[in-house]
Structure 1
Amino acid sequence: MATINIWQQFKALIPEGVRFVATVTANNGNGTSQVALRDASVITIKGESISAGQKAFIQDGEVKGTAPELAQYEVEV
């Protein structure tokens, strides 16, 4: 049965979990990879499907796919 609650319908449009783009720096060979974030910190995540040097979508600490190489702009408001 579909809900008629507008707030619940809106929440269903937003994906769960944290999603961000990072650059893969190394595949560890044990099912994990090292990635560099925009602030230059390095973290370990699950997945080795993206080769080193490419950008990846990371969601909930796991590789979800390849991210496009796009220009990044930072605007201060």
Structure 2
Amino acid sequence: MATTNIWQQFKSLIPEGTRTVVTIVSHHSNGTSQARLRDGTVVIVLGVSVGVGENAFLQGGEVKGAAPELGQYEAEV
């Protein structure tokens, strides 16, 4: 049954969870990868679709695809 609640319809357009950019460090034989966050923390994630040394989008603990190599800047306000 389709909802008529406009807020619920809007929320369904937005993907669940946050998307983070990580660098893939290594692949494991069980279908997981070791990834490094921008702050240096190393985590184990699902997926091996992005090559070692490349950036990837991480969402919900799973590699969602390759991320572009862009510069990172910080600005203090």
Instruction: Give the structure-1-normalised TM-score.
Output: 0.85
- Residue 29 of structure 1 is matched in structure 2 by 29
Unaligned runs of 5+ in 2: none
CA deviation after TM superposition for structure 1 residue 3, in Å: 4.3
- Residue 51 of structure 1 is matched in structure 2 by 51
Rounded Cα–Cα distance in structure 2 between residues aligned with 1:61 and 1:9: 25
CA deviation after TM superposition for structure 1 residue 59, in Å: 0.9
The residue correspondences of 1:1-77 to structure 2 (distance < 5 A) are 3-77=3-77
Instruction: Give the structure-2-normalised TM-score.
Output: 0.85
Residues 19-50 of structure 1: per-residue CA shift (max 9 Å, x gap): 11100011122211000001100000011111
* Residues 6/75 of structure 1: CA separation in 2 closer, same or farther (3 Å cut): farther
CA deviation after TM superposition for structure 1 residue 53, in Å: 0.3
Rounded Cα–Cα distance in structure 2 between residues aligned with 1:60 and 1:34: 15
Unaligned runs of 5+ in 1: none
Helix, strand or coil: the match of 2:12? helix
Aligned length: 77
